[in-house]
Structure 1
Amino acid sequence: MKKMFLISLVCLCVCCGESPKKNVASAKKNIAPSEDTIASQKNYINFESSEELLKKINKSKNLFSKERDIGVNYKGWTSSYTDSVQLIKKRIGTKYNIYLYTYQYTPPEYAAFHTEYLEINNLKISIDSLLRKGHNDVIEKNPYFYFHTVSYLHFGKNDYVLIELGNRNFNMNGDIFSYLLIKMHKSQLISTWLFYNGYQDEKVFADFDNDGELDYLDWGTRKNEISLYSLKKDSLIKNKEKFIFVVPSKEFIKFEETYHESNDWYYIVDKSKSNWFFKF
């Protein structure tokens, strides 16, 4: 009986291609075909790793170049109220006058985090305002960010600054990885975008379709669809014609059922449901 139930779930996942909600229980609905089934069905390609799949779908030469670590030495809890609520100033990169005002320690008061901000050419941008400009509606409530590294890309007539963000909230998943993209033109700030909980590789930002516009590959954890967004006239537009359907591997499902946790990406491509710029 259990075996028949699992087979039914496999059919549901493969036929519908629905994206699971972000919780462990829902991931069990996306049961992947077995390795033997994949080998016998021409509709599936197992890339064995998410890195291998990303390398396949991104052939662009317009990629960000990493400069260095930002160098904010974040620390944990402290009994000193003065230390924990004192904002420190850190320069982000060397190319532009971008500064981060952040807390070195975890403040004892929850509301204190909401006063962190960026300063770009004397223009102050609160971290909270960046959260409200995220590219989708999946941002968790009040995440606290690590600012890790900064990268640059000159593309077209503009410069782009890409900052890696981690999650330093001990109540949330520490593996959540995000990006802050800043668009500059002749030292003037054009716009900013926050990409929350995405794939941990800067190559998700590139010109995938070679149309002269910077794109973002939206590939989140436990998502059945890899979608594409493009920056067109400073607006983030989803490409509804290009997408890749993926399913979890057998090992992924086994790990999730055993340990009741996961933070990974699906990488078995369903060719029959995918429509990319080339045929798999």
Structure 2
Amino acid sequence: MKRISLLVLLFVSSLNFGQNLNSSELDKSNSVLFSYSLLAKDSLRCDYIDLNNAKQIYSKVIDSSSHGVITEQKIMLDDAESIFYYKLNFANSDAQIKKRDAIEIQGHKFNIDSLYYGRKFNRKMPYIFSSLVNVIKFNFNKQKYIAFYIQDVSNPVTLPNTLILLFDISDLKDIFCYSLDFQASEDLKCFNDFDNDGFLDFADWKQGYDYQKKLFRYKLINRKFVLQKKDFVIIEENSSGYYINSKLSNWSYGNIK
């Protein structure tokens, strides 16, 4: 009797194992390795500023003490558009100074930390020790934009997120910046007109320590990126990477299946 019970138990266990295996295989077949290029069938035309051709205009000491030295570099990124990057370098110094890394466009200067923190910014706020990943120029719907992709090297991680500062430079007397927080994309594929309605869209998603399961679409309306709750992609994390769960996603603009 015990032998019969054991055989029944083994048979039921094998059925459960088979069901789990089939379920796992089904989930795996329904998952695609995530890439921003899958979100749209086309991409925006753009020009990448070659950061290898950047030229240093000057490097000068702006703060010095027995504890160390802080120097500032001014770097020309694009002569035609008059785009400059101001980079602070700290040598054995932990001084808190008001001056921060900055971007200059056509004579208009913007502190990177001020743009990121907004109204919360003051000299006591932590520095973003910026490193430029990409600077991209593009036009959309009669508007002219420059996007700066910036990583914070003070927070080294395996999969770093990237701060996007998107400048609308259509009117040089009224340059407007959208600070889009830290997110995973390092190029222009996170921007598009995904639903072809004439409005610029932004796909927001974070990886690594700040990983979020849902990628959401935001639409630019009246100088504000507005969340489109019904358009999202479920991105699941496992030991081999990030995978799209197309069954649970609600995204119909690219090829996520």
How does the TM-score come out when normalised to structure 2?
A: 0.71
Higher relative contact order (CA 8 A, sep 6+): 1
Is this contact kept in 1: 2:86–2:101, CA < 8 A? Answer: yes
Deviates more, 1:146-155 or 1:220-229: 146-155
Of residues 239-248 and 91-100 in structure 1, the stretch that sits farther from structure 2 once superposed is 91-100
1:242 offset after TM fit, Å? Answer: 0.7
> 1:225 and 2:214 equivalent?
yes
* Residues 153 and 38 of structure 1, relative CA distance in 2, 3 Å threshold: farther
| Equivalent position to 2:77, from 92, 96, 106 | 92
Q: CA deviation at 1:227?
A: 0.5
User: Which residue of the partner structure matches residue 178 of structure 1?
Assistant: 163
> Are the structure 2 counterparts of residues 109 and 277 from structure 1 closer, same or farther at C-alpha, using a change threshold of 3 Å?
same
What does 1:132-147 align with in structure 2 at a 5 Å threshold? 132-133=117-118, 142-147=127-132
The 5-angstrom pairing of residues 126-205 of structure 1 reads 126-133=111-118, 142-169=127-154, 171-173=155-157, 175-195=160-180, 196-205=182-191
Say if 2:133 and 2:151, in contact at 8 Å, map to a contact too.
yes
Q: Tell me the CA shift for residue 64 of structure 1.
A: 3.0
Q: What's the secondary structure of 1:55's corresponding residue?
A: helix
Structure that is richer in strand per residue: 2
Evaluate the alpha carbon distance shift between residue 210 and residue 141 of structure 1 in structure 2; reply closer, same or farther with a 3 A threshold: farther
- Aligned-CA RMSD value: 3.3
Q: Is the 8 A contact 2:55 2:77 kept in 1?
A: no
Selected match of 1:214 from 200, 215, 227: 200
Q: State the partner residue of 1:267.
A: 243
Tell me by how many angstroms 1:107 deviates: 6.5
CA contact (8 A) 1:38 1:45 kept: no
* Conservation of the 8 A alpha-carbon contact between 1:146 and 1:167: yes
The letter for the 2-side match of 1:178 is: L
Please give the alpha-carbon distance, in whole angstroms, between the structure 2 residues aligned to 1:232 and 1:94: 31
Higher alpha-carbon Rg = 2
Task: Please give the alpha-carbon distance, in whole angstroms, between the structure 2 residues aligned to 1:107 and 1:131.
Answer: 26
Q: What is the number of residues matched between the two proteins?
A: 218
Give the gaps of 5 or more residues in structure 1.
Answer: 1-33, 74-79, 135-139, 253-263
| Residue of structure 1 equivalent to 2:15 | none
Overall identity of the aligned pairs, in %: 20
Give the corresponding residue for 2:16. none
With normalisation by structure 1, the TM-score equals 0.66
Question: How much has 1:217 moved relative to structure 2?
Answer: 0.8
| Stretch deviating more after TM superposition (103-112 or 145-154) | 103-112
Q: Residue 38 of structure 1 contacts residue 46 of structure 1 at CA under 8 Å; is this kept in 2? A: no
Query: For the Cα contact (< 8 Å) 1:133–1:193, is it kept in 2?
Result: no
TM-superposed deviation, 1:108: 0.9
What is the CA–CA distance in structure 2 between the aligned matches of 1:232 and 1:38, rounded to whole Å? 42
Report the secondary structure of 1:213's partner residue: coil
**Residue of 94, 98, 103 corresponding to 1:109:** 94
Aligned-partner Cα distance in 2 for 1:248–1:122: 44
